[in-house]
Structure 1
Amino acid sequence: MADPLAPAVAPEFVYKLISPAASFNPADRVLPLSALDKADGFYHLSTPAQVPGTANRFFPGTRFNDLLILKIRFSGIQPQVKWEAAHGEHPKDASRIFPHVYGDLLQEHVAAAIKMRWDQKQGSWDFSAGWEDRV
């Protein structure tokens, strides 16, 4: 049965945000769960459009020194993904429906690791044009 909250067109990539960046080890076969992931029982991911909001809401530069964003090929993890509303959100608001991975998230699906820069002047992470292709 199709996931009723899944977007009509599957994204090419979804993203996992990690801080501190040093906690990411490219040699790991399975990506480690964050404390929030462990508590909720799944990996929290974001679509490209959701990444800036997720980064600035949950990883503010005032609390985090760095931010690494893993660019993950959706086609490789699609069977493990369940599209779900953010906690306390109404599921009809498509911008608040997030991809969650149940089971192991394998490193082989990571296409790139993007190091973000905090823009002190703007008070946010630098999501200027082309951020998805930075390495």
Structure 2
Amino acid sequence: MWPASPHREPPTSGHSDASFDLVSQFTLFTSILEPSVKARIAAEMVRVTKPGGIILWYDLRFNNPWNPNVRGIEAAEIRSLFPGCNVRLERLTLAPPLARHIVPISYPIALMIEQLPFLRTHYLGVIRKPESRC
């Protein structure tokens, strides 16, 4: 286990407003435990995304029971981080502990089990910044 890091405010990215058509984050927000830091990072992502651009999101829905420094993030919280943006979320990724056991035995069975939404542990999101600022 890594030692706890001292709390630091996230810096701005250094990029100009509306610099990117696509901004992405993969499993970042579930490792940020302070709500105000999450909000600042989300605001920075929106700031650097061009109007009509997309923020691509992939992160955990559930807490990691083996790592107290990872907290799942639900749809309502994701939407609250990007007010005014169009947020579309899909649940995917078969629970990794389950997948590790089933895939070596039968990949087709793993694909069937993955169809059960409650066993999907991540959100894939497309967050669209409107043509006017969100």
TM over 0.5: no
In our comparison, the structure showing a higher alpha carbon Rg is 2
State the TM-score, normalizing by the size of structure 1: 0.30
State the TM-score, normalizing by the size of structure 2: 0.30
Q: Larger % of helix: which?
A: 2
